[in-house]
Amino acid sequence: MGFQSQVEKAKNLLRTRLCNPNFIIKPLSDSPDSNYCKLKFTISSSITEACNNSILLVGPRGSGKIAVLELALNDLLQEYPDTISLIRLNGLLHSDENCAFKEIAKQLCLEHHLLFSKMGKQRLLYSLLDAMNTVTSQAVVIGVSCRLDVDQLLEKRIRSRFSHRKLLFLPPSKEDVQRLLEHVFSLPTDSSFPHDYAAQFNGKLQNLLADDRFKEIISSYLDLNSTINHLVRFLFIVVSLWESKSGFLSLENFKSALSSIQRQPKQECIKDCSILELYILVCMKRLEVKEQNSYNFNSVMKEYRSVHDSFQTSDYYAWDVCLRSFERLIQRELICFTDNRAHGQSVEFRPVKLLVSYVELQGGLKSYRSCPIILQKLMDH
């Protein structure tokens, strides 16, 4: 087996791992304080002791709620193969009550255990929870949401019937992240890879993990959002940037991944604008500075003309050309209409607003390749 193919194989393995939420969640789920253990205990004791429960899984997006739930459910389905049936509803897909009831009926042929993504409508929940309050039925309702105030959204009658088990999903600690990285990147030392390659790879990985610069990259990335999903997305880019030539993961991969993921779309958008579009943006900014709060294309054109008259710029374009670039700016959401009411009205009369801050605009002008100096001057006063 050639070196290249080993590297390819290692790459594939890492990608497979990163795409498998169960694999990612596993190392964080073994302590008894983990949500996984608590959730599994609650569901399995509801099954064995024949009681009904309703559980809420709450946590920011990407914190692994569904992954933990799936892991627990998979285990339980193996443990009690004939007793659990599963119904999955999604608040986005089954936003309508009737639709949700139909879906339940459809899935019931096979299944019985309820799982909601996003709390649905209240009548549905009432029926479910009220049915659970009778001895004859047995169910566990699991609600998943990223809203912390989700239980406040429930109607009072439903809240009263809800059993209020709540599991909070928090981002992993620094130590957990370190463990996770090691778990994801280290190659297995069994026969699947040549022993010396795996040992070498793991050795380099250990060095990398201990490197302070590496830690800084990871923490600066996690400063934005420290959830597990967010981290995994980053790691996937790292693996994609890993070139087969080098054979081992390097710090460079992480650096370039960081710079490719931390981007400022608005500023880049300004870089792509034409000179005329920049003029329009600057004119709008000037209007706002003059505390003219409501303006439309015509007033922007007036400002543009007055700027041209006072500074005699070389870039003066006809009215319809300006209108076209004005429309392009709207499409790129650098400016927007202040209201959505007047749909019939033509573009030039509708009031607009700038959707980019002065600081960003200034920064954009500075980094613009061939920005006319007059524009920067106009920005300042």
Partner 1 sequence: MADTPRKPLRSPSKKPKQTSSSSISLTPQTPQAVDPPRRSSRRLSLKLDQITTPQKPISQLEKPNKDSLVEELETPHKLVKDSSRTRRNSRKNESTKNPESKTDYESANTPKSRTKVVEVEVSFSPASPDQLETKKRKRREDKDRKVITRAMASKMQRVNRRAIRRGFIIRKWCMMVVNLKWFSFEVLEAASEGSPRRGLDLRVLQARKLGMEVELPTPAKGKRRARTLREKLLSSDLWAAHIESTWKEMDGSYWFKGRWYMIPEETTAGRQPHNLRRELYRTNDFADIEMESIIRHCFVLNPKEYAKATEIDNEEEDGEDADSDEDWISSKDAESGTDEDIEYENENVKNLCARTSSAHGLAANSRKGQFFGLQKIGTKRIPEHVRCHKKTELEKAKATLLLAILPKSLPCRNKEMEEITAFIKGAICDDQCLGRCLYVHGVPGTGKTMSVLAVMRNLRYEVDAGSIQPYCFVEVNGLKLASPENIYRVIYEALSGNRVSWKKALHLLNERFSNGKKVARGDDRPCILLIDELDLLVTRNQSVLYNILDWPTKPHSKLIVIGIANTMDLPEKLLPRISSRMGIQRLCFGPYNYQQLQEIISSRLKGIDAFEKQAIEFASRKVAAISGDARRALEICRRAAEIADYCLKKSSSNLDATPAGKGLVGMSEVEAAIQEMFQAPHIQVMKNCSKLSKIFLTAMVYELYKTGMSDTTFEKLAITVSCLCTSNGEAFPGWDTLLKVGCMLGESRIILCEPGARHRLQKLQLNFPSDDVAFALKGNKDLPWLAKYL
Instruction: Identify residues 53-112 at the interface with partner 1 (CB under 8 A).
Output: 58-61, 80, 82-85, 98, 104-105, 108-112
Going by the DSSP 8-state scheme, the letter that residue 295 receives in this structure is B
- Between 111 and 315, whose beta carbon lies closer to partner 1? 111
Asked whether position 233 contacts partner 1 by CB under 8 A, the answer is no
**Total of residues contacting partner 1 (CB under 8 A):** 79
Site string for partner 1, 9-48 (x = CB under 8 A): -----------------------x----xx--xx--x-xx
- Between 245 and 263, whose beta carbon lies closer to partner 1? 263
| 294 dihedral zone (left: phi>0; alpha: psi -120 to 50; beta) | beta
CA neighbours closer than 13 Å in the CB half-sphere of residue 18: 22
Report the nearest approach of partner 1 to the CB of residue 170 (Å).
4
Binding segment toward partner 1, per CB under 8 A, in 8-16, 20-28, 239-247, 264-272: 264-272
Element (H, E) at 53: strand 53-58
Asked whether position 291 contacts partner 1 by CB under 8 A, the answer is no
Out of 4, 20, 262, 274, the only residue in the binding site for partner 1 (CB under 8 A) is: 262
Binding segment toward partner 1, per CB under 8 A, in 10-18, 190-198, 224-232, 366-374: 224-232
- Between 20 and 357, whose beta carbon lies closer to partner 1? 357
- Between 153 and 321, whose beta carbon lies closer to partner 1? 153
Out of 157, 213, 290, 324, the only residue in the binding site for partner 1 (CB under 8 A) is: 157
Asked whether position 320 contacts partner 1 by CB under 8 A, the answer is no
Out of 224, 245, 318, 331, the only residue in the binding site for partner 1 (CB under 8 A) is: 224
Out of 132, 217, 228, 273, the only residue in the binding site for partner 1 (CB under 8 A) is: 132
- Between 200 and 225, whose beta carbon lies closer to partner 1? 225
* Residue 231 tokens, joined: 């981290």
* Residue 67 tokens, joined: 């992954």
Residues 59 and 146: beta-carbon distance below 8 Å: yes
- Between 23 and 101, whose beta carbon lies closer to partner 1? 101
Asked whether position 175 contacts partner 1 by CB under 8 A, the answer is no
* Beta-carbon contacts of residue 88 (< 8 Å; ≥ 6 apart): 107, 115, 117
Long-range contacts of 332-341 (CB under 8 A, 24+ apart): 332/269, 334/266, 334/269, 334/270, 334/273, 334/277, 334/281, 335/281, 335/284, 338/294
In 10 A of CB 136, how many CB atoms? 5
Residues 113 and 140: beta-carbon distance below 8 Å: yes
Report the nearest approach of partner 1 to the CB of residue 59 (Å).
8
Buried-state track 73-87, b at ≥16 Cβ within 10 A, e below 16: beebeeeeeeebeeb
DSSP secondary structure string for all residues of 142-189: EEEES-TTGGGGS-HHHHHH---EEEE--PPPHHHHHHHHHHHHPPP-
**Strand partners for 276:** none
Asked whether position 161 contacts partner 1 by CB under 8 A, the answer is yes
Asked whether position 120 contacts partner 1 by CB under 8 A, the answer is no
- Hey, which residues between 179 and 208 contact partner 1 (CB under 8 A)? none
* Residue 182 tokens, joined: 């090691």
